[in-house]
Amino acid sequence: MSSESPRDWISAEEARTRLGVRSQTLYAYVSRGRVQTRADSGDPRRHLYRAADIAALSDRKTRSRKLSDIAAGAMAWGEPVLASAITTVANGRLYYRGRDALALAETETLESVARLLRGGHGAALKRTNRPAALAGPDMRARAFAALAARAGLDPPALGRQSLALAVEAATLLDVLTDAVTGQVSGGAIHNRLALAWGLGPGGSGADLIRRSLVLLADHELNPSAFAARVAASTGASLSACALAGLATLSGPRHGGAPEAIRFLAADAESWETAPPYWHGWPRIGPCRGSATPSILRGTLELPLFWTGFRSQNPWPGWRRP
């Protein structure tokens, strides 16, 4: 029988009051394991928060006033927490501007969700006269070269019209896809990736890529997303911001981590499908992971090949269902 009393758990309103934060910050603490939460037995639609965790965070804030002044508006006492109108985690669900990400993954594409995240609506706007994809030994080298070439020429984002930035952002997605696939082409990004990776456009493999791209469209505040947002805060060009994110992503403690998995796979004598470890979805998280087992049917998760920059088919052991 539990020895906890009702006073050990408090409501979201009281937790926010004690910490002096908004809902987004409280959700960020929960998603990063800083605050435990549980369903309210009296109302399963509400959640309660462990009072001891809230007290520990409040005490840390009190002891870090000078640091908090320096980091005001950017970092919250060692935790990268930024107020955002883009993505919200509520009651174990992920929402992009108020729309359920799992529901979006059923029908939407990366391009349409990117427009939603930018706050845009209606038809896609982008330039079609893109330069040829730069040569490179693999998709990582081509992606770096493509973004660096644009970053050296594109104007700063600060002060520009929102429509011009929307067109540039949509075009930048195509430029990066051209680099990944090694050729300039049209059509939906998930179909272009599927074709380049030998899965064929329009099939189950392309649909799997589409769903995964939607579920991973916003990376909240992981290191690469945070680096891109820091660059954006200076007014840098969109391509420079993307390059900052890509440079951070390349580190072995972030997007470069799949290289170690690749070495492990090379040592295995016979794997016809992905090993059980990958079925646990350690990097997608609970808000997206509930959709992935039925979607991916035991294949490798998208970050393994998207951030691993493989130049060949990223699923050598994948079999069509």
Q: What is the pLDDT of residue 261?
A: 77
Average pLDDT over every residue of 254-272: 71
Give 125 or 169, the one with higher predicted confidence: 169
Nearest of 83, 184, 84, 191 to residue 130 by alpha carbon: 184
Q: Are residues 33 and 149 in the same domain?
A: no
Q: Is residue 260 over pLDDT 90? A: no
Average pLDDT over every residue of 118-144: 75
Average pLDDT over every residue of 226-249: 93
Average pLDDT over every residue of 151-171: 90
Q: Tell me, yes or no, whether 316 lies in a domain.
A: no
100-121 per-position pLDDT tens digit = 999 999 999 999 999 998 887 5
Q: Are residues 52 and 172 in the same domain?
A: no
Q: Are residues 199 and 144 in the same domain?
A: yes
Query: Side chain identity at 148, as an amino acid letter?
Result: A
Q: Tell me, yes or no, whether 16 lies in a domain.
A: yes
Domain count for the chain, please give it: 2
Q: What is the pLDDT of residue 164?
A: 87
9-11 β-sheet, strand order: 9-11, 43-50, 37-40
Residue in the structure block whose two tokens are 């929307």: 166
Neighbours of 108 (CB within 10 A): 21
Neighbours of 175 (CB within 10 A): 25
Q: What is the pLDDT of residue 288?
A: 55
Average pLDDT over every residue of 249-274: 72
Residue pair 208/139 in contact (Cβ under 8 Å)? The answer is no
Q: Tell me, yes or no, whether 251 lies in a domain.
A: yes
Q: What is the pLDDT of residue 287?
A: 52
Q: What is the pLDDT of residue 89?
A: 78
What is the rounded average pLDDT for all residues in the chain? Answer: 76
Average pLDDT over every residue of 181-192: 91
Q: What is the pLDDT of residue 38?
A: 86
Q: Are residues 129 and 32 in the same domain?
A: no
Residue pair 170/163 in contact (Cβ under 8 Å)? The answer is no
Q: Tell me, yes or no, whether 96 lies in a domain.
A: no
DSSP symbol at 125: -
Q: Are residues 204 and 276 in the same domain?
A: yes
Residue pair 219/213 in contact (Cβ under 8 Å)? The answer is no
What is the maximum alpha-carbon separation in the chain? 68
Q: What is the pTM assigned to this prediction?
A: 0.61
Q: Are residues 209 and 263 in the same domain?
A: yes
Q: What is the pLDDT of residue 24?
A: 84
Q: What is the pLDDT of residue 127?
A: 62
Residue pair 210/195 in contact (Cβ under 8 Å)? The answer is no
Average pLDDT over every residue of 30-41: 84
Q: Are residues 138 and 201 in the same domain?
A: yes
Q: Tell me, yes or no, whether 257 lies in a domain.
A: yes
Task: Write out the residue range of the structural domain in which residue 72 sits.
Answer: 6-83
